[in-house]
Amino acid sequence: MEKHPVEFSTSIFRIILLIIALIIISAIASSSLGLKPLYSVIFTFVYLLVFITGMFFSAMLFSIHNSSVRKAYGFSVIIKTIINGFAFLFPFAVLAVFSDFIFKWNAIQPVASAAIFTCVSVSASDLMKSGGKRAGNLIFSFAVSLIFLFMFFVCGMLAVAFLK
């Protein structure tokens, strides 16, 4: 197995930004449901699980489809591209904080939708740079984003339906 390219390294700074962004978006999404405070805390963790599951699902699908990248550089490159792609959640988390707390807009659903599509697309483009299939990554990124978004919305709908 060859050594992975330098541009596919990830830093602890990106991982910290990713964790902070995941917590912020999950907390705002759960508080926007209008649940009791205890349920909001619980649903923050549920949304965190949805994001982590979505990232894992993205890595698995991209790994299956980009077998040439996986064979050339190993599975760690795919994980690093997912982490690097999802580090783009941070600007969306800042946007969610501004819209929710400063402008008093409840815009977490559109912000989360745009964030998920952007992060999955950035991950797919990084895989294309390393030799992945172009058309397949575009189709897979769209499919993964839709599935990820479906999980995010269903989680919120179930919370509102059963916990209010």
Is 36 inside a domain boundary?
A: yes
The mean predicted confidence, pLDDT, of the chain is: 85
In terms of residue numbers, what domain contains 42?
6-163
For residue 80, being part of any structural domain is answered with yes
What's the pLDDT tens digit per position in 81-139? 888 889 899 999 999 999 999 998 888 889 999 999 999 999 888 888 877 777 778 88
Write down the pLDDT at residue 94: 95
CA Rg value for the chain? 17
pLDDT band at 5 (very low <50, low <70, confident <90, very high): low
Answer yes or no: is 49 within a domain.
yes
As given in the structure block, the two tokens for residue 52 are: 């982590």
CA angle, residues 148, 156, 92, in degrees to nearest 5: 60
- Count of domains observed in the chain: 1
Q: Which band of pLDDT confidence, cut at 50, 70 and 90, is reported for residue 32?
A: confident
The answer as to whether 1 is a domain residue is no
Asked if 81 contacts 126 with a C-beta cutoff of 8 angstroms, the reply is yes
Is there a domain that residue 38 lies in? yes
Q: In the chain, what percentage of residues exceed pLDDT 90?
A: 16
Q: Rounded to the nearest 10 degrees, how much is the dihedral formed by the CA atoms of 7, 10, 16, 20?
A: 60
Q: What is the pLDDT of residue 91?
A: 94
Residue 135: the pLDDT is: 77
Q: Does 107 fall in a domain?
A: yes
Q: For the whole model, what pTM was predicted?
A: 0.84
